Amino acid sequence: MSPSLREAGLFAGLALLVAGIFAWLGAAYGVRMLAEAACYAIIALGLTIQWGYAGLFNVGLMGFVAIAAFTTVLVSFPVNDAFWQGDGPLMLGQAALTLAIGVAVTVLLSKSTRIGLPKGLRTALTLVAAAITYLAVQGQLDPAAALIEREAGFVGGLGLPVWLGWVAGGLVAGLLGWAMGRITLGLRADYMAIATLGIAEIVKAFLKNADWLTRGTLTVSPLPWPVPTPQELGFVASRSAYLAVTAVMIVVLYVLLERAWHSPWGRMMRAIRDNEVSAAAMGKDINRRRLEMFIVGNFIIGLGGAALITFTTIFDPSSFAPLNHTFLIWVMVILGGAGNNLGTIFGALLVYVIWIMSEPVALFLFTSAEHWGERAFGWQAPDDLYTRALQMRVFVIGLTITLVLRFAPKGLLPEKVVKYD
C-alpha cells in the first residue's frame, strides 16, 4: 500500500470512529474529546521535534506543561486587588532584586578563570556565592509569602489576554528547556531521561507547595478562555470555537515544521540524529544544535500544555501526573510515528480517543456482563464497577502500544525517508 493511500485509510477510519462516538455519546462529549485531543496533539508535535528530529529522550514533559500552565494563570487570570494594595509586591520586588544581584555575582565568579583565578578557587567562590544568594532570597521570601497568604490568599494574575498567556507559557517552558539543556544535553540518553524526570518533579513540587503563588492544592479557577465560555455561548458552540482555535494552531505548526523538516536545517538535524560522529566531523556543533531543538520543542510543549489546562478551566498542581502528561504523550508519538508530523497528529488523536473511550466502553461491557451473568448464572458483580472501568484505561493503552510495537515498530505512519540526488 502506498504511503498516501495508507494515510488516507487511517484518517478515514479515525473519522468513522469519531463519528460513532458523536452518535453514541452526543455532540457535547465528542467536541470536548476532540478539543482535548487537539491540545495533546500540539504537545506531541513538540515531543516529536525532540525525539523524532534530534533523538533527545525527554521524559520531563510534565514539568514543562505545568510551568507553562502556571505562567498562563499568572498572565491571564484576573487581577487580585488585595495583593496589589498590600506590601506584598514591594517585598517580592526586594527579593527579586536580591536574586538578580546574587545570580549576576555568581555568574561572574564562575567565569573568573579568565582573569587568572585557579579553577579550585573559582569553584569554591561560585558555590559560596550561590549559597549566600539562596539564603538571602529565602530570608526575604518567607515573610513575604506569609504576608501574602494572610492578607490576599495568593498573588493572582495580570488580567491580560489568554493568547498572550499561552505565548508566555511557551516562552517560559522554552527558557526552562534552555536551563535544563545546558545541564542535561551532555549526558547519555538514559541519564538525560533521569535528569529531566527529576527536574519535572521539582517543578511540580514547587508549584504544589507555593501557596502564595499558585494557591497550591486549593486550585485556581475558573480560568478565562480565549473564546466565549459555555455559560455565554452554550457547551457545544463554545467547545467548537475552542476546537477551532486549537485546530488552527495545529495547522500553522504543521506547516512550519514541515518546511523546517525539508530545509537544510532539518537535514542537518537528521544527520546529527543518525550519525553524531560524522556530523561532528563535518564541523557541526552537536550540543548547540540539540539545545536549539530542545528549546523549540519545549516552547511547543508549553503552548499545548497551556491550551490544555485553560480548557479544563482549573489549575491544580496536584493534577499533573507522569501518566497523563508524559507517558501518554510518548505513546502518541511512538504509535503515530516519530519524525513524521502527520503521524504524530494522527497518533495523538487516536491514542486520546482510545484513552478517553476506554472507560465508557469498559463500563458498558461490565454492565452487560453483569446483566447476562446474573440472569444465566446468578453471578453478582462487585460494587466498584465504575472504578474498574476507569482503571481499564491503563490496560487498553498498554495493550495498544504493545500491539503497535509488535506489528508496526516504526509507528502507524513512520518517518518518510527522504532521498536526495
The residue extents of the domains of the chain are 3-80+154-407, 81-153
Note if the bond before 222 is cis, omega within 30 degrees.
yes
State the Cα–Cα distance between residues 246 and 337, nearest whole angstrom.
21
State the Cα–Cα distance between residues 197 and 259, nearest whole angstrom.
31
Beta-bridged to residue 220, according to DSSP, are 315
Q: Concatenated DSSP letters for 261-329?
A: HTSHHHHHHHHHHH-HHHHHHTT--HHHHHHHHHHHHHHHHHHHHHHHHHHHT-B-GGG--HIIIIIHH
* pTM more than 0.85: yes
CATH architecture of 3-80+154-407: Orthogonal Bundle (1.10)
In angstroms, what CA-CA distances link 298 with 49, 65, 308, 410, 418? 9, 9, 15, 23, 26
State the Cα–Cα distance between residues 42 and 184, nearest whole angstrom.
24
User: What is the full per-residue pLDDT of the chain (421 aa) written as tens digits?
Assistant: 677 888 889 999 999 999 999 999 899 999 999 999 999 999 999 999 988 888 888 898 999 999 999 999 999 999 999 999 989 999 999 999 999 999 999 989 888 888 777 888 888 999 999 999 999 999 999 999 999 999 888 999 999 999 999 999 999 999 999 988 887 777 666 778 888 888 899 999 999 998 999 998 888 989 999 999 888 888 899 999 999 999 999 999 999 999 988 888 888 888 888 888 888 888 888 888 888 889 999 999 999 999 999 999 999 998 898 888 899 999 999 999 888 899 999 999 999 999 999 888 888 887 777 666 665 666 566 666 677 777 888 888 888 888 888 888 888 888 877 665 5
State the Cα–Cα distance between residues 32 and 145, nearest whole angstrom.
37
Q: Output Rg (C-alpha) for the chain, integer angstroms.
A: 24
* Grid cell of 211 as nine digits: 501557596
